[in-house]
Amino acid sequence: MQRILLVIGHPDCSRYSHALAERYATGARASGASVEILDLADLSFDPNLASYDQPLEPDLERASEAILAAEHLAFFFPMWWAGPPALMKGFIDRVFLPDFAFRYPPGRTSIPEGLLRGRSARVVVTMDSPGWYYRLARRRSLHHAFSGGTLKFCGIGPIRETTVTSLRALSEPKRLRWLDRLEAQGARDARRLAPRARLHQLGVPAE
């Protein structure tokens, strides 16, 4: 069975990011995937990374295990100040650590090795900015940092992106259509994982 981990990084569970995640999970489960939802607002942890040997809280230990068990990761969060919320950034800082998410092999000081290979990802971001403004004025800064500078850096791929722009101005019918779209994307992502899941059951590396 395909295993998907949803990571929701909005601190308010009543917001649109949660609704999108729930519909994505519905679609993925309908296509036969096992879906675990990790709502960061429900976890108890210090988002400030003081040092790499800082002990992980029990919730972060369980989150690390869930990441390793998953074949696909889906992240849901809004863009605030051209970046993710502090809750999501703190989670990444605390969990995506050396020797878990990446490492520098002996004799190699500048080119790291991603340790989360074999996992795909989807990044679902909401923002009030219009799409054209985000692309031209912000140069897709959040996606370059999160998808490329974090997930790809750690070996995750392929990475697909869904961006809901002009959220504040979206009418109710358009919001409902986005929910339908996310359910369909969840179903497609689960179906893409099916061949990889079968290889895993046979003990064959996915890549």
What percent helix, strand, coil does the chain show, rounded to 5?
Answer: 45, 20, 35
Of residues 206 and 113, more confidently modeled: 113
User: What is the average pLDDT score of the chain?
Assistant: 92
pLDDT in tens, 83-132: 999 999 999 999 999 999 999 888 766 788 999 999 999 999 999 999 99
Q: How do beta strands 159-164 and 102-103 pair?
A: unpaired
Name the band, by pLDDT with cuts 50, 70 and 90, for residue 196.
low
- Phi-psi label, residue 16: left if phi above 0, alpha if psi -120 to 50, beta otherwise: alpha
Cα 183 to Cα 177: distance, rounded to the nearest angstrom: 10
Q: At 118, list the tokens.
A: 């074999």
Domains delineated in the chain: 3-201 (3.40.50.360)
Q: Tens digits of per-residue pLDDT, 1-50?
A: 899 999 999 999 889 999 999 999 999 999 999 999 999 999 999 999 99
| Distance separating alpha carbons of residues 132 and 153, to the nearest angstrom | 27
List the Cα angle 127/15/81 in 5-degree steps: 35
Smallest Cα–Cα separation from 159: which of 175, 170, 145?
145
CB within 8 Å of 67: residues ≥ 6 apart:
5, 73, 95, 116, 119
Q: How far apart are the first and last CA of the chain?
A: 18
Token pair, residue 83, equals 């970046």
Separation between Cα atoms, residue 100 and residue 163, nearest integer Å: 28
In the predicted structure, residue 59 carries a pLDDT above the cut 60: yes
- Mark 9-35 as b/e (b = at least 16 C-beta within 10 Å): bbbeeebbbbbbbbbbbebbbebebbb
State the Cα–Cα distance between residues 92 and 77, nearest whole angstrom. Answer: 13
pTM strictly above 0.85: yes
